[in-house]
Amino acid sequence: MRGGQGVRRLAVRVRVLVALGRPAVALLFALYTALGLAQAGHAEDRLLFAECVVPVVAFLLCSVCVNDLSDEAIDRVNLPGHWSRPLVTAAAGSRNLVVTAAVSAVVALGSASLLGLRPGVLMVAALALSAGYSLRPVRLADRGAVAALALPACYVALPYLLGLTATGAAVGPRDLMMLGGLYIGFVGRILLKDFRDVRGDALFGKRTFLVRHGRRATCLFSACCWVIGTCVILAATPRPTPAFVASYGVCLAAVLLILRALANEVGHRREEALIAGAAVIGRGLLVLQLAHVAMGQAGWGTGVQALVVGGVLLVTVGQVVGLVRYGPGTGLTTASLGQEAAEASSPGDRALVVNAPAR
């Protein structure tokens, strides 16, 4: 009997860690890390990739715990009963998150320092920025556009530069140009996250770009970031093939169509589907970039590269079409963590907040 209870407790703890690890975000971190390694000419160094992923994932766990502790009241409005917020669902307590954050910070800093001086310094800076994003008196999360500019420094710059510097390579102009393109593109993506959180953000005075300027301005600014970021990435890409450039063009066109629809959409489920589709395109672009650089370093022929790029594009477009038509899947259910899922707000409430800029 005791053994069965122990197994159940262990299973709950594992599920809580998975929720805190934000699987979709962890995948993004891994892709940016792999891009940094590939940019330095180590696209196939699997051991070094694993060594880099450890501090990156530990940093993610620490940042999520700190943010969840700081945003608990907002999350109870925006994401009541959602599996990804164990503090809200009571699957974990505040003490659990504090301990997880502290241990994760030590692991992140220690494992990054083992990779070298520059990765260690990067991790110190990233941990400080992450704390400033969530904690008072700094709390960048409440500062509108500043938050949208600061968060990509943790999401993009840390894993990319950690992978790049872990190889011992010098950071050149082309590397920085690639980082700039990835950063600008991610700003366009992170702005869309605020649609999900708009009601709680407005209620608690969190002045996000969406709350301050409204739906249309947010979609327009996001579109500009996507376009500029894509152009910069293509300019920084070594020897881009016609198939690679065409695939980027298709993905960019699809995102612009999604943003155009999102600028006029107020239905909650439809909104979720459009934003999920944009997220899939963002991940697809990263996979395309990584595949292109890796295949070039391996000396693959142009024809084979075109087939691989076409396959990645086909899978990406297929996922986007499915999401936009049928909506995102339920994923892990909240019932498994003890409560049922609930809508963050009614479509009418969301429309009132999203469509009108703050005065």
State residue 231's pLDDT score: 97
State residue 205's pLDDT score: 64
Q: Write the single-letter amino acid at 222.
A: S
Q: Which of 141, 146, 124 is nearest to 70 (CA)?
A: 141
CA atoms within 13 A on the CB side of 104: 23
Q: List, run by run, the mean pLDDT of 10-residue segments along the chain (359 residues).
A: 70 86 92 96 94 97 94 85 86 92 97 97 96 89 75 92 95 96 93 78 70 86 96 95 96 96 83 92 96 94 95 96 80 35 37 44
Helix axes 117-134, 46-70, angle to 10 degrees: 20
Let me know: does 213 contact 206? Beta carbons within 8 Å: no
State residue 356's pLDDT score: 46
* Strand extents, DSSP E, 71-123: none
State residue 266's pLDDT score: 67
CA 75, distance to chain mean position in Å, is 18
DSSP 156: I
Q: How far is Cα 68 from Cα 91, in angstroms, rounded to an integer?
A: 13
State residue 204's pLDDT score: 65
Number of H helices, E strands in the chain: 17, 0
- What is the full DSSP assignment across 187-255? HHHHHHHTTTTHHHHHHTT---HHHHH-HHHHHHHHHHHHHHHHHHHHHHSSS--HHHHHHHHHHHHHH
In the chain, what are the domain boundaries?
Answer: 2-236+329-355
State residue 162's pLDDT score: 97
Spatial neighbors of 173 by CB under 8 A, at least 6 apart, are none
